Structure 1
Amino acid sequence: MKNIFISICLFIFAVSLFATDVSGDQSGTWDLTGSPYNIIGEIFVPAGLTLEIEAGVEVIAMGNYKITALGNIMAEGTIADSIRFHGENGLYWGGLRLEDEAVESIFDYCRISNTNDSNDYGIHSINSPVRIDHSYLDDHQKGIQFSALSAANPSYMEIKNSKVAFVQKSGITIVDNSNVLIDSCEVTQCGLGASFYGAIQLSLQSNTHSCSPIITNNYIHHNDKQGLTLANLFGYENMAPTVEYNDVSYNYTGIYLYAGKGTYTWNHIHHNFVENNADSGAGVMLYGNQATAVFTYNEIDHNYTGLYLTNGATVNLGDLNNTNPSDDGYNCIYDNIFYTGEEFSVYNASASNVTAENTVWDDDPPIDVTIIDGNDNAAYGIVDYEPTLSPFAPPAGVSVLVNNGFINLTIALGTEYPTYANMEGYNIYRDGELIAPMLTSPFFIDPIPAVPGLSVNYGATIVYEGGFESTITDTTIFIPHILNPLQNPFVSLLGLFSWDPPEPGSTSNFLYCNVYIDGTLLGNQIYSPWQFSGLTPGESYFAEVSAVYEAGESDPVGVQFYYLGTEYESPQNVTYELFPDYIHLEWDAPNAYVDLYQIYLDGDLLTETSELSFDIFNVTSGVNYEIWVVAVYIDGGVSEPVFLNILFVGGDDILNLKTELLGNHPNPFNPSTTISFTLSVKDYQDAKLEIYNLKGQKIKIISPSLCHPELVEGRGGHFNVTWDSTDQADKPVSSG
């Protein structure tokens, strides 16, 4: 049996020191600053206009006035700040009347109280679309009416997650409208007046219309008259609601079908009677030869009478003799005991026969004792109750999932159909063999029992009080192979894709690896790595690789990467400067993907640094040093070194340094080379570096100050400058 969930509405109201008197035509916004709004005359919302009522507003009727919306109303409160409509000090007023057939009105988190005139409702929608949610309607003559009388295309109307209570007649009335939803509401303390009105009442007043709404997940209880009434007083054809998953209890009568039809599924109809009142107590009452409803999966218990039929009515409680599987019974009817002690499961005082096959019945007393039909009175129709259904219902369902070498089995809560039997535990079966008896939990974990690639059947039964066991509910699962994925995918900045082998434990033979980029299969190979080609430098890509086994392909593993190009760029513009006791190196970063730089001295690693400069100490004047500067990238890649051959002249020796061109490196080059030279102290100020082509034409002039603008004036020393093959106008020159 599905549980019924009813939303509880909290109503909290703001308080203002001032009030706003309203009457006549109203539109725009009733805001919180003007609250409360005192209705001192009839209110009309003009056609085509909207009245918006803000959260927290209080609307107080000062007399028997009504709000009539020819346009629409938007009253949207919140759980913390709802909207209140009521009469002053409980004074009765005219309620809300909705007439716009095109634009929807909304009442959310509202409380609407105190209408009691015979023609007034809390909300009366006359073929006007409306949505009522999280609201509470109380103290009315009639709570809500959804009417589409004479409408060819009825508007949609719904009430959800709301409560209707303390109503003299019907809490919710639906007239000639099948386009209605009542969902997850509590309807209680209705029908308090002398006349018989159902807490929810359907009325069909035209043979050309229908009244077949959806009524689901509601709690309909403790009403003075019927819980649900189908009042088809004129005997028209089209009154067949869908009524499902409701709890209908503690009413005078549970459901009353006056010439009504419909489908009734998974409802719990119980404890409907007034103590010692012989006219009360039917869980379901059917009247008239057009009462022909279909009941399946309902639990009907602890009423005075389970079902009572009269005046030609019939009901389908289960018919296995037709081809329609939707009326195969599965109801559970038990413990419906009249106040004098007799048990009446079905009392068929109608001349029509009743099909009640495939139903769970009491077995004490015997079924034929609890059924009153033509076997007891020749004027009554026969109740066909055979075959019956076992009270030991199987589980509602079983699901299995393979996870990390185990089978996770879950038994769905509830039973396949309603039952009165008391459950004690579950038995678990694998391929028909009991492997776990009398579990109290609906969860079970089983190590994978079969060779991968085969199927296994798992099932569960319910063990009931007394040791009775239900039939099995089972499912078959294919045990897949374990296909472990590859591990640790990595792509270098130059597009070299590598990965590690899968973890041990795969149950199929490995064949090869599939390589993908941005979701496209590039090819396959057995081992890592894979060199991507044809990529665009400076772009990002997503690389994936999967392991392909004899039994199939594993899940791919992937990594996003940036493609730098075909080589790791070396440090740029490497320069040096000689000081009396050290060599100062500087360079520029080639790009943003360098992690650190390595400095080598005469072939040995001297240091690693993330800076763009370094000072080499402990050098000897007159000694020639070979220095390399290497870029190490974030992916571990290493650039070609930049070579420097430096004759260190330090201390006083620098004063004797001659002006001399030391050559360039690399040579030949493309597109740049580093030119090294020394300058004496006397030549520093006026020296310049001139570059010529093979024809003796001057290409470019470079001042030493451009090489080392930070040098102190008046000093000589070692210099080097990178020439990028451009002329004085910074235009590229041809080779030669």
Structure 2
Amino acid sequence: MKKLIWLSALIFIGLMLQAQTPVPAGDVSGLWNIDGSPYLIEGEITVPINETLVIEPGVTVNFQGSYKFNVMGTLLATGNEQDSILFTTDDPETGWHSIRIKDTDNNSQDTTRIMYCRIEYGKSSGTCPDNCGGGIFISHGRACITHNNIQHNSAYIGAADWGGGGIYSEYSNPVISENIIQYNHSGHDGGGIYCSYGSPVISGNIVRNNDSDFRGGGIASFLFAAPIISNNIIESNSSNDLGGGLYLSGGDASVVNNYIIGNIGNEGGGLGLYLNNSKIINNLIAGNEANHGGALYNKGSSPWVYNNTIAQNEAYSGGGGIYNTFEMIGMMAFHSNPTIINSIIHDNTAS
């Protein structure tokens, strides 16, 4: 009987070892399926231009160190509701260096699709842009990121700091929808999501419990970005400067039909705007906290604020609901003149 047990155990161990697929540094393409899972990434890997890597439902991609997953061609990581794909590491302290989608738009590659995946323990570090995008980095890229859980990723402070603890997007127009983006950290801006120079669609996500050391605990939008931020729950995020939930600077964002609740920022608990004239429409902005502007902090900004409910926010110094101030650049003063129409502003406090 004992011999039979030992034989069964050895067969089981052999099958487990056989299932593992080591992936050395270099180019990757083709098909990764459940039979080869987990795929053990042993160095920096790249999907080359004009090549495609398909990852099937149920696969685990396990990074053995701080290695990048570069996508210059097309990545199709499409799980399903019953069987997701996991990007992870056995060493969360060291982490791995994120999925990095680069120049796929410039090179006319097909859209990368990341769907029903869990992306965790990514850590981007070094000098910019290596320190951006803890979970996913997109630059001049084509990407559709939907129905994922993006969590416990970090973007660390470095030279020419930017951020994006969960997702970083520049010069790109990705669709980021129906994801849970939580417990991500940025050493600078955008704990959950950072975008600049593009028009991403950020819709139907739960963005919660993210934090940044500077601006935009949940989402940060910079530098001529024109994101559509709609139908999201943005809650319990924090930043040490402007915009606990959302930070908008430059560009022309549309912030529509969101729940922006329970966020904390130094200035602008719900939203912090800097030199920005975005449209803020049909949102519930409630239960946020800051020193100035519990719900909304405008610095040199004149947003169009229409049909919002702004309630039960708190400021420790001034502007429990909305705080307006100006910005001096050289000899020029940029004043804040928001247009506020048909909004309920109720039960906010300043102490």
Instruction: Decide: shared fold, TM above 0.5.
Output: yes
Name 1:299's counterpart in structure 2. Answer: 309
Match among 185, 208, 230 for residue 188 of structure 1: 208
Tell me the CA shift for residue 280 of structure 1: 5.5
Tell me the SS of whatever aligns to 1:314: coil
Q: How far apart in 1 are the matches of 2:280 and 2:16?
A: 49
Q: How far apart in 2 are the matches of 1:22 and 1:280?
A: 51
Q: How far apart in 1 are the matches of 2:216 and 2:254?
A: 20
How big is each residue's C-alpha offset from its partner over 1:689-710, in whole Å with a ceiling of 9 and x where there is no partner? xxxxxxxxxxxxxxxxxxxxxx
Tell me the SS of whatever aligns to 1:261: coil
Are residue 132 (structure 1) and residue 131 (structure 2) matched? no
Structure 1 residues 16 and 242: CA distance shift in structure 2, 3 A: farther
Name 1:229's counterpart in structure 2. Answer: 247
Q: How far apart in 1 are the matches of 2:72 and 2:49?
A: 5
Structure 1 residues 194 and 213: CA distance shift in structure 2, 3 A: closer
Provide TM-score, normalisation by structure 1.
Answer: 0.38
Kept in 2, the 8 Å contact 1:272–1:281? The answer is no
Identical amino acids, percent of aligned pairs: 31
Tell me the SS of whatever aligns to 1:80: coil
How big is each residue's C-alpha offset from its partner over 1:653-690, in whole Å with a ceiling of 9 and x where there is no partner? xxxxxxxxxxxxxxxxxxxxxxxxxxxxxxxxxxxxxx
Tell me the CA shift for residue 281 of structure 1: 5.3
Match among 96, 101, 104 for residue 98 of structure 1: 101
Tell me the CA shift for residue 282 of structure 1: 1.8
Tell me the SS of whatever aligns to 2:349: coil
- Over the residues paired in the alignment, what is the CA RMSD in angstroms? 1.6
The 5 Å alignment of 1:597-636 reads none
Are residue 146 (structure 1) and residue 165 (structure 2) matched? no
> Unaligned stretches of 5+ in structure 1?
1-14, 149-154, 205-209, 233-238, 318-328, 341-736
Name 2:324's counterpart in structure 1. Answer: 309
Name 2:181's counterpart in structure 1. Answer: 164
Tell me the CA shift for residue 120 of structure 1: 4.3
Are residue 174 (structure 1) and residue 195 (structure 2) matched? yes
Name 1:286's counterpart in structure 2. Answer: 298
Are residue 267 (structure 1) and residue 268 (structure 2) matched? no
Name 1:212's counterpart in structure 2. Answer: 226
Name 1:640's counterpart in structure 2. Answer: none
The 5 Å alignment of 1:65-84 reads 65-84=67-86
Kept in 2, the 8 Å contact 1:200–1:228? The answer is yes
Structure 1 residues 281 and 264: CA distance shift in structure 2, 3 A: closer
> Unaligned stretches of 5+ in structure 2?
1-14, 126-130, 155-164, 315-319, 327-334
Q: How far apart in 2 are the matches of 1:128 and 1:41?
A: 23
Higher relative contact order (CA closer than 8 Å, sequence separation 6+): 2
How big is each residue's C-alpha offset from its partner over 1:441-478, in whole Å with a ceiling of 9 and x where there is no partner? xxxxxxxxxxxxxxxxxxxxxxxxxxxxxxxxxxxxxx
How big is each residue's C-alpha offset from its partner over 1:628-658, in whole Å with a ceiling of 9 and x where there is no partner? xxxxxxxxxxxxxxxxxxxxxxxxxxxxxxx
Kept in 1, the 8 Å contact 2:204–2:230? The answer is yes
Q: How far apart in 1 are the matches of 2:216 and 2:303?
A: 20
Structure 1 residues 16 and 177: CA distance shift in structure 2, 3 A: farther
Name 1:198's counterpart in structure 2. Answer: 217
Name 2:10's counterpart in structure 1. Answer: none
Name 2:271's counterpart in structure 1. Answer: 255
Tell me the CA shift for residue 199 of structure 1: 1.0
The 5 Å alignment of 1:570-609 reads none
Structure 1 residues 281 and 287: CA distance shift in structure 2, 3 A: closer
AA at the equivalent of 1:195: F
Structure 1 residues 60 and 22: CA distance shift in structure 2, 3 A: same
Q: How far apart in 2 are the matches of 1:93 and 1:25?
A: 17
Name 2:349's counterpart in structure 1. Answer: 337
Q: How far apart in 2 are the matches of 1:172 and 1:82?
A: 22
Tell me the SS of whatever aligns to 1:33: helix
Name 2:5's counterpart in structure 1. Answer: none
How big is each residue's C-alpha offset from its partner over 1:141-192, in whole Å with a ceiling of 9 and x where there is no partner? 11101210xxxxxx431111101111112211111102x101110001111x
Q: How far apart in 2 are the matches of 1:188 and 1:114?
A: 16
Name 1:409's counterpart in structure 2. Answer: none
Structure 1 residues 38 and 280: CA distance shift in structure 2, 3 A: farther
Q: How far apart in 1 are the matches of 2:214 and 2:345?
A: 30
Name 1:678's counterpart in structure 2. Answer: none
Structure 1 residues 32 and 16: CA distance shift in structure 2, 3 A: farther
Tell me the SS of whatever aligns to 2:273: strand
Kept in 2, the 8 Å contact 1:94–1:120? The answer is no
Tell me the CA shift for residue 16 of structure 1: 5.4
Kept in 2, the 8 Å contact 1:145–1:173? The answer is yes
Name 1:31's counterpart in structure 2. Answer: 33
Q: How far apart in 2 are the matches of 1:41 and 1:66?
A: 8
